[in-house]
Amino acid sequence: MTTSFKVDLRRGMMVTGKWKQGRYRVERLLGEGANGKVYLVQRDRSWYAMKLGIDALDLQSEVNVLQSIAKQKQHGQESYLFDVDDLYGPDGREYPFYVMRYVLGSKTDDFLKRQGAEWFPLVGLNLLGKLAKLHQAGWVFGDLKVENVLVADYGHVELVDYGGVTAVGKSIRQFTEIYDRGYWNGGSRSADPQYDLFSFAVLCIQLHEPKRLQHLTVELLPQNRSVGELMQIVENSPALKPVAGWLQRAFAGQFADAGDASAAWRSLMHRRDTHRSSSTPFWLKGLAAASAVLLGISVYWLLRNLM
């Protein structure tokens, strides 16, 4: 893989796809990572996110995954993937790119800090829903982490960075250590739905107890890393205790897939004894937030159809 990626698209620059002639105006850099740079661009007065790749093969495999997911989408649903092409950078070199829906959202931790921890149950449920769709299509997300989950208004969740997505049964293509099942001696790095659910469980800890998790990674020798150590953080965290049983099952690989895990999560949100516990008020607030969102959406559709 090419390691230098110096292409720099400036604000206001117009870029044109080599094959399909799509014309985009560059607004700003949204983010960059190991596989490329993502820019906010405009075409025909609509906003999109354009991912410029370093490696054509890597980018193509992300595109393949997005196309396979798009095939599953119900009729009339807006597609996530908008365009795939190559462009000439300011340096005269050719770069592969794809254009996707622009997600106006924030990283999960930033969203929860701003909107409040009571949104966590709903955001978790929506994230499990996204994973469930991938699992149904035979894919495992692989590199699930706080940075790859963007949360928009009403707790709407979008996964970004499909570079780690792996077909079930293969070896996970890309992962981040603390979210990795192998790192915690909790199982293999082979792609199965339980791999994502393990990372989801670590993500829950990362959202509520980032310092303790970070501390574990520093203090434990590799052979001593274990699910038991992770569960100790959970048991000692008032915010995570209500989901301790669910997290234990996710760590043990006891859910068939994210659909199964999502059903268990949902029933936890509705459990009366969870609401009664004084140490867990955010679960009750989460349920209220979910109801408010549903009510808002229903009123919106009603008004839209009346007008």
Ligand X SMILES: Nc1ncnc2c1ncn2[C@@H]1O[C@H](COP(=O)(O)OP(=O)(O)OP(=O)(O)O)[C@@H](O)[C@H]1O
Sketch the per residue contact string, 42 through 61, with ligand X: x for CB under 6 A, - otherwise: -------x-x----------
Query: Judged by CB under 6 A, how many residues of this single chain contact ligand X?
Result: 19
Helix ranges (H only) for 80-168 are: 108-115, 120-136
Residue nearest to ligand X (CB): 33
Q: Which of residues 208-237 bind ligand X (CB under 6 A)?
A: none
Q: What is the nearest approach in angstroms of ligand X to the Cβ of residue 138?
A: 21
List the one residue out of 293, 248, 2, 257 whose CA is nearest residue 121. 293
Q: What is the nearest approach in angstroms of ligand X to the Cβ of residue 214?
A: 18
Q: How many Å apart are CA 246 and CA 10, to the nearest integer?
A: 46
Active site residue 161: no
The answer to whether 289 contacts ligand X (rule: CB under 6 A) is no
The pair of structure tokens assigned to 9 is: 């698209």
Q: What is the nearest approach in angstroms of ligand X to the Cβ of residue 160?
A: 4
Interacting residue with ligand X among 15, 22, 24, 38 (CB under 6 A): 38
List the one residue out of 275, 294, 295, 271 whose CA is nearest residue 285. 275
Q: How many Å apart are CA 294 and CA 231, to the nearest integer?
A: 33
Q: What is the nearest approach in angstroms of ligand X to the Cβ of residue 255?
A: 25
Interacting residue with ligand X among 33, 182, 187, 253 (CB under 6 A): 33
Interacting residue with ligand X among 163, 186, 193, 286 (CB under 6 A): 163
Residue whose CB is less far from ligand X, 47 or 301 = 47
> Which residues are within 8 A (CB) of 262 and not within 5 positions of it... i.e. 6 or more apart?
125, 128, 129, 132
Q: What is the nearest approach in angstroms of ligand X to the Cβ of residue 96?
A: 13
Q: How many Å apart are CA 141 and CA 59, to the nearest integer?
A: 15
Could you give the angle at the alpha carbon of 84 between the alpha carbons of 80 and 86, nearest 5°? 150
Residue whose CB is less far from ligand X, 32 or 153 = 32
The pair of structure tokens assigned to 142 is: 């692989």
SS3 39: strand
130 is in an annotated binding site: no
Q: How many Å apart are CA 44 and CA 184, to the nearest integer?
A: 48
Interacting residue with ligand X among 17, 26, 31, 81 (CB under 6 A): 31
Main-chain dihedrals φ then ψ at residue 305, nearest 5 degrees: -75, -25
Q: How many Å apart are CA 274 and CA 283, to the nearest integer?
A: 7
CB 110 within 8 A of CB 98: no
Sketch the per residue contact string, 83 through 122, with ligand X: x for CB under 6 A, - otherwise: -----------------xxxx-------------------
From 58, 143, 161, 257, the catalytic residue = 143
Residue whose CB is less far from ligand X, 37 or 285 = 37
Main-chain dihedrals φ then ψ at residue 261, nearest 5 degrees: -65, -35
Residue whose CB is less far from ligand X, 105 or 286 = 105
Active site residues: 143
- Binding annotation: 51
List binding-site positions for ATP. Answer: 51
The site for ligand X (CB under 6 A) is made up of 30-36, 38, 49, 51, 100-103, 147-148, 160-161, 163
